[in-house]
Chains A and B, each alone.
Chain A
């Protein structure tokens, strides 16, 4: 022990909270040695494939497997008849069959799965299965689903959920009334790491281990065990390396199929989707149609909103009911709004099923309310920036559900900080090349060299948004973490164990930062991520920094307090006064310091805790209640260059200021901001799944366009750091906000450019297509 006369360190040491240590899996990922779920195999492994419906709606008359069984190398075929447990699964309601047995409800619905020695044999076997269908007339119109004119396409009915919100004075009116109808196309998460899993059956067939890329190991286990007819403890899930998620891995895809095949043959089976199959195999962002009317005073203060929102959930419910509630409860945006009448429907059709995607309902609502704010600004003769400032929500304001916003709510700060960021210094069309010619890469249309610089017009647009964090509507939302001290030859290591899915966001970087800060020990090991510890909840809803971060923080805090007790007893100190400073345990009374890691040597401490956020409530028939946990805010300003004649757009710059609470790892926060904005830009001008008569027409990366290096502009970002006293680490989730209001900001900028060019285009639909601009 040494007594050091030294003041408390104020700058966090590298690796602690507030710094940006590198990812612990970074070197493996850049060297290609990191094992993604599609890289995992096993000796004697078979390969599984899925037979899918070619029809959006049809009755299955017969399934003939005889030809498939005759193919040498086919080892197992399973259909609905082979599901030993529950025949259906689903996140909120279990309405989706493991395999369709009587009716198929979307193009791509699984009908059978087959395992063979080799992928090619498996594909041939699958093609040899003969399914006889009676084709039915699909339900493809969301309004028709609401109308009640069609027979139910599913026993649960054609309306998944209807919810109304009536708040304040429903009859209130304003001096200024503006309205519009907005459409949002179906977006794909398009993670790069395709669905893949490896199932390893226990000898005896009483249990199974599944290595899979997922967002929520325990929920997967719950659904898999039910369908297999197993107790949950006999289903062990291990996180396979996850190549991105963005919501698409919240639902089951191949998990049950892979397990069924493996159990059938008592051999390991792996499955891996192709890109085309992936478009069919996971849920998408809901396409939506939103009518919205704003009433305001003459000087632009919102008096009332009215809205009707229709979300097309596709064939199965997935999380549609929760997506809908996000959309309608956040319909006012980050603005004060005393009165509201909002109706929302999530409906069932024979389209591809929809569910979670980054932003989860808030995205669709935001495109509508932000488009409305620009209309309101124009109607009141106020600048789009000023009208947002005038209505900006702050802490203590209420949602239209009556729920007070208790978190820090720096909407005005987000707006002002974004506005303070410099506009692009390059002129419209970019700087000329050294030879004096135009640089085509700086023009809309890029390498196509189609735009004429003289025709290009620059526009600026704003988008601001609110996002609820964590799960809502009285859901028992918790995360589990275990912390233990382990002696090793090179000193004490902190071992952290959790089931938190690392999908790329960087929780594996953050968790050790928390442990280093709380315990003062730099050596932190993350134990395998699997179901051998309690649930962490899903890596979604911007919740893991708050929830699993909260659990790791709590577990480390419990361990630290036990360490303090033992150290205090050994040294004759008062345990209650001890604190961690850097890597030292400090006794303020004596001024003594101990190296924390050294002091923990020989201490056998192992603690597992659960962290819960404060409870939320259901909403009543008028949509009133406190359904949400917490809120985060962000502002975006987009600058675009548009060729009005050709309908071409180049996004030149996105500026943003985001309410992050506290940046625990600033580099990771910037990564979330830039990545989220890319997805928001994609929805604004590029990305849409096209279905014609219920058949996907662009389920590949040639036709489904993703933003590339050339499509993404520079992002200027300011982090608004006002630590939230309600958050365990002061930090808000940062994953979703970037992709919410970046979309309407880009569209507003296009409208601004077109207005300058004298073109009147409503652009009430995303993604904006060239024809929406120039025709």
Chain B
């Protein structure tokens, strides 16, 4: 049975405190957990994504890739389709290891999960399921306005022993529907590394989750160290239907470039 589309938003609204007051630690944790829940697919997930990378003194490059996820065992795979030079390359996460495959050399290389995807400012986490509550401890900073939106500003600090690309993250969470509108990623030194904006959110019904899966249809990532660099990610054609059982394997990814 398909649930009404407004149900998650209503749930989110119930979780959120009344405007104007500081969030307690418990309320802050609930807001962060809600972000994870909204984005969780609860099963399989497939999306077509476009990444446009702009770098200073370089030609803009547009990548087209397929992202595959399976919630149960945290499987993840990216397969590059465009440009031609990148076609067939891919990333595959097996347990806690992220592997990179380059069909030109026919070799698998183990990479860190914090790797820049395709050398752009995109990180694995931008296209993976949100695990903010698991990876970070949250602290409410302020309630404020972001443009015309009422938002909670929340500071996330990496939990001890958890390896993340950015040890500190600041989120601007829409009070109305619980989605993230803006995110700042900070380095260990405290320096601001990236600012991301999520102007468009969409949702798709997932049979396995028995509810909607929210995803940012558009992400604009601005490099704050090399100011001229930015990446635009557009997520299209999201599908939550079950994927073939043997999909998340090295053999499958290799077969795509033969």
Partners in one complex: no
Query: Which residues on A are within 8 Å of B, measured CB to CB?
Result: none
Q: List residues of chain B with CB under 8 Å of any chain A CB.
A: none
